[in-house]
A and B are shown apart, each in its own frame.
Chain A
Amino acid sequence: MRITRKDFLCLSGLSLLAAGCKHSARSVSRPASGAQASTQPVRWGMVIDLRKCREKDGCNDCIHACNTAHNIPQIANRAHEVKWLWTEPYATVFPAAQTGYVPQSDAETTVPLLCNHCADPPCTRVCPTQATWKRDDGIVMMDWHRCIGCRYCIAACPYGSRSFNFEDPRPSIVGINPDFPTRTKGVVEKCNFCEERLARGLKPACVNACPQQVFTFGNLADPNSEPRQMLRELFALQREPELGAGPSVFYLV
């Protein structure tokens, strides 16, 4: 059979039309599933209510829970110290937010500190191996497999949230928790917003451990979430917001 030029052009045109129809039919027939696939944006954040915190009375349940959950070594030498959740005096944390007359300015008032999981984290920009990066849900993650221990991120973090393992942490861990790995000498570590607990549908360890419900954890991208409601109603402080990193941790004073 000989095919004429006219037949060939007709056939090609029909094939193209059929392919186009199939494509558009497929995209039209499944709009609902497509809408489901694009999930709501998530940005995990935390509101810390300093008015409720009983740290002054000697409570450190949150720090203890974090240390146990993540196998954080207790190293006496302050130069080698590893910390994920710790406290500092109010005057050091918010040097610009004190009048000398508010109760928080009291030298004894301390503030629980952790990684701010910034909106625009400076630490992830400087990491040469992408061992630290910002996840889609806002958590600034660490991949200890990739960390080469250059400590650029420690230099970049304006909040001192990162610690370096100058020594093997294992001997300094009180009772190893088998559910979480330890780290090794030569890697940087920091708070991971309990990413491993969030994956199981749990709240971070500090949130659950606090007897006073000081910590409120939730999705900052959702206007109806608990932290967003609190931030709408009350005035909150962020640590050094002028640096532009956009911390996801807020403090009520």
Chain B
Amino acid sequence: MRDRVWIFVGLAVFVATLTCPAWYALVHRKASSQPPNLQMPANQKECVAPAGSMRAAHIQMLIQWREDVVRRGDRRFVAFNGKVYEKSLTHTCLGCHNKQQFCDRCHAYSGVSTPYCWSCHTDPQSIARNAP
């Protein structure tokens, strides 16, 4: 039992390491279990797919749209409710959603880095804001 001190020190270090993300978050007040305050579109009630599948798989849909438009020239999207949309990130998605208040907020909350879509694709609302 002469090593009792070392065993407890080792245990303390282990527990501290294990719980450090929680402590870090508490100190920096960055993460929270509260869902992000997203600005919902004012002009539309329904998205191109049910909210749950958009939340889970919007990137798959965007990739599908990209392939359809660029490689097949197919720009017409018939939604689950029969509505017809243009397959366009700028016109359809950002026609309703605000990039900064919707996309970016949720990506920041989920810890998903900003995708490189935006190095080419533009946000029409921020362009309109910056225009002289």
Which residues in A have some Cβ–Cβ distance to B below 8 Å?
A: 135, 141, 143-145, 175-176, 178-179, 181-184, 195, 199
Contact B66 A182 (CB under 8 A): no
Q: Which residues of chain B (105-119) have a CB below 8 Å from chain A?
A: 116, 119
| Contact across chains for B120 and A199 when beta carbons are under 8 A apart | no
Q: Are B120 and A176 in touch, CB under 8 angstroms?
A: no
Of all chain A residues, the one with the shortest Cβ separation from B116 is A184
B119, B121, B128 — which one has the most chain A CB atoms within 10 A of its CB? B119
The residue on A at minimum CB distance from B124 is A178
Interface pair A145/B122, CB less than 8 Å apart: no
Q: Which residues of A contact B91 (CB under 8 A)?
A: 179
Contact A176/B75 with A143-B70, A145-B66, A145-B70 known, Cβ cut-off 8 Å: no
Using Cβ atoms and an 8 Å threshold, which residues of chain A touch B70?
141, 143, 145
> Contact residue range for chain B?
10 to 19
Min distance, Cβ B99 to any Cβ of chain A, angstroms: 12
Given A141-B70, A145-B66, CB of A182 within 8 Å of CB of B122: yes
Chain A residues, CB < 8 A from B128: 178
Q: How many A-B residue pairs have C-beta atoms within 8 angstroms? Tell me.
A: 31
B43-60 contacts to A, CB under 8 A, are none
- Secondary structure call for the A interface: loop
Pick the contact of B75: A141, A179, A199 (CB < 8 A): A199
User: Given the interface contacts A141-B70, A143-B70, A176-B127, does A181 sit within 8 Å of B122 by beta carbon?
Assistant: yes
A144 in contact with B90 (CB, 8 Å): no
Give Cα A144–Cα B124 distance, bound, in whole angstroms. Answer: 20
* B82 touches A (CB below 8 Å): no
Query: Does A135 contact B124, Cβ atoms closer than 8 Å?
Result: no
Q: Does B30 contact A (CB under 8 A)?
A: no
B83 at the interface (CB under 8 A from A): no
B71 within 8 A of A: yes
Which residues from A are CB-within-8-Å of B116? 184
Chain B residues with CB below 8 A from A199, complex form: 73, 75
Who on chain A is nearest to B130 by CB?
A176
Establish whether residues A182 and B73, one from each chain, have CB atoms under 8 Å apart when the complex forms.
no
